[in-house]
Structure 1
Amino acid sequence: MQATTAANSQKTKKSSVIWVDAKVMNTGKQYANVTPVSVVKGLAEGVFATIKEAHDGKFTSKAYVGTMANKGVSIALTPAWNNKIPAKLKAEINQLSKDIAAGRILALDPIE
């Protein structure tokens, strides 16, 4: 669905999109010109956490929830947009990400 939305953004030149699950440069590079940022699932972190639990003899069937704090979710700026986004806005986004990871800003409950 996001590819359809991104293609429409390219066609109309009226919108931009946020790519989800992986970096647009890895999974939809042709849409980078309409995708300033990707919200990325940290699958490697989840796999590592599960393997570590098993190795340490602490594995449970409890669901792994990726968050900004455990690097299970992150925001990735698309390189082509680096010079288009003001430094002040990038700094603000970076600070908001840190505040969410630290629990100073409450994001949506991950288990809803």
Structure 2
Amino acid sequence: MQATTAANSQKTKKSSVIWVDAKVMNTGAQYANVTPVSVVKGLAEGVLATIKEAHDGKFSSKPYVGTMANKGVSIALTPAWNNKIPAQLKAEINQLSRDIAAGRILALDPVA
């Protein structure tokens, strides 16, 4: 679906998109020109956490919830957009990311 949205954005030149799950450069590089940022699932972090729990004898069936604090979710700017996004805005995004990770700003409640 996001590829369809990105293709439409390229065609109309009226919008940009936010790529989700992985970095656009890894999974849809042809849409980088309309994708300033990707919201990335940190699958490697979740897998490593599960392996560590199993190794340490602490594995449970409790769902792993990826957050900014445990690097299960992150934001990645698309390199082609680096010079198009004002430094002040990038600084604000980085600060918001740190504040969310630290719990100073509450994002959505995790799935129970």
TM-score (norm: length of structure 1): 0.99
Structure 1 runs of 4+ aligned residues shifted over 2 Å read none
Q: CA deviation at 1:111?
A: 1.1
Q: Secondary structure at the match of 2:19?
A: strand
Q: Secondary structure at the match of 1:63?
A: coil
Q: How far apart in 1 are the matches of 2:108 and 2:75?
A: 16
Q: Secondary structure at the match of 1:19?
A: strand
Q: How far apart in 1 are the matches of 2:75 and 2:15?
A: 19
Q: Deviations over 1:65-98 (max 9, x none)?
A: 0000000000000000000000000000000000
Gaps of 5+ in 2: none
2:76 match: 76
Q: How far apart in 2 are the matches of 1:111 and 1:34?
A: 31
Q: Secondary structure at the match of 2:61?
A: coil
TM-score (norm: length of structure 2): 0.99
Q: CA deviation at 1:110?
A: 1.9
Q: How far apart in 1 are the matches of 2:33 and 2:71?
A: 26
Question: How many residue pairs are counted as aligned between the two chains?
Answer: 112
